[in-house]
Amino acid sequence: MTAVRKEEETKEMGKIIGICISEKRGTAKHEVETAKLVEDWGIEGDAHAGHWHRQVSLLSYEKIEAFRAKGADIPLGAFGENLIVEGYDFRNLPVGTRFSCGDALLEMTQIGKECHSHCEIFKRMGECIMPREGVFARVLQGGEIHVGDEVTLLPPPENPPLRAAVITLSDKGSRGEREDKSGPLIVEMLTAAGYQVEETMILPDEAKALKAQLIRLADGRQVNLILTTGGTGFAPRDITPEATYAVADRNAPGIAEAMRYHSLSITPRGMLSRAASVLRGKTLIVNLPGSPKAVKENLEYILPSLEHGVRIAAGLDGECARK
């Protein structure tokens, strides 16, 4: 089969059924016939556009129709979606999926979202499909779009970089009372190793907040690797390992054990680390120490071997035995 033939068979077509925008956050979206997608921004004139990963929201028209069949009399845009597209079950497509529409190019960045306060639809119907079925995208290339335009699912790019996120756990850092030096160091080292760092954040040492972000990054953003720094010691508020284990599907203890082994060759206090390393779905989560010095020592030690494990977890590489 030729490469052209293979690419043609990979492509699938959908259609824009509706385009919805809202000029102010917190107000209902309304339909428009045409819109301008702006590169690395979103829909021109839409309040949710910006330099972030949720520039455009998409929802399957079939999911809206199924919800309407339950008795919900709702207009397009009622769930806060920008683009209503017929022909795709977005939730079952992986993050990183790319679509073209005319000259515009979109890349899926997140599946679903957390519903912080139940909307009027939820209060009336007992459920809302956007947190479960909605997806988000960034605009890679701008262009005009119109209701009725075709939306094409593009072949995945060859050899995309592994995607990572970094979380710093620090009460003082989250309040702006201490500069975070470990998080930026991790980003620097990951970038040098070829990873694409999608998100960084500083959280207080609170299990609930950490668990929520680990779940969102693994399930919604589908990053390949999450590295945390801080909260792995004996202090009462050092809860990082417990929160990490709480969201895990499988344990991956060898990585944390290797870091402790390496740390013991530097200082006897390496035995005091409670760091965890686990898998949630296809995402590897590893706890690093809090100090920049220990972060550098540990990450330098595990990083060369980490990529193979990350790729196996993601289904990108097969198992291999040493010969």
DSSP characters for 272-286?
A: G----EEEETTEEEE
pLDDT (0 to 100) of residue 10: 44
Q: Are 8 and 77 contacting, i.e. CB atoms less than 8 angstroms apart? A: no
Q: Which residue has the tokens 């120490």?
A: 289
Q: Are 279 and 313 contacting, i.e. CB atoms less than 8 angstroms apart? A: yes
User: Running along the chain, 323 residues long, what does each successive block of 10 average in pLDDT?
Assistant: 42 90 91 98 97 97 93 88 96 96 97 72 68 95 98 93 98 96 98 98 98 98 98 97 98 98 97 98 98 98 96 83 50
Indicate the SS3 state at residue 40.
Answer: coil
pLDDT (0 to 100) of residue 27: 87
DSSP 160: P
Token representation of residue 21: 């925008």
Q: What Rg do the C-alpha atoms of the chain give, in angstroms?
A: 22
pLDDT (0 to 100) of residue 118: 59
pLDDT (0 to 100) of residue 39: 98
Angle at 95 between CA 129 and CA 5, to 5 degrees: 115
Q: Are 43 and 49 contacting, i.e. CB atoms less than 8 angstroms apart? A: yes
Q: Length of the chain in residues, anyone?
A: 323
Q: In the chain, what's the furthest Cα-to-Cα distance?
A: 67
Q: Which residue has the tokens 């209503």?
A: 84
Residue 80, amino acid: G
User: Euclidean distance between the first and final Cα of the chain, in Å?
Assistant: 34
Q: Are 80 and 100 contacting, i.e. CB atoms less than 8 angstroms apart? A: no
Q: Which residue has the tokens 């945390």?
A: 228
Please give the model's pTM, rounded to 2 decimal places.
0.89
pLDDT (0 to 100) of residue 291: 97
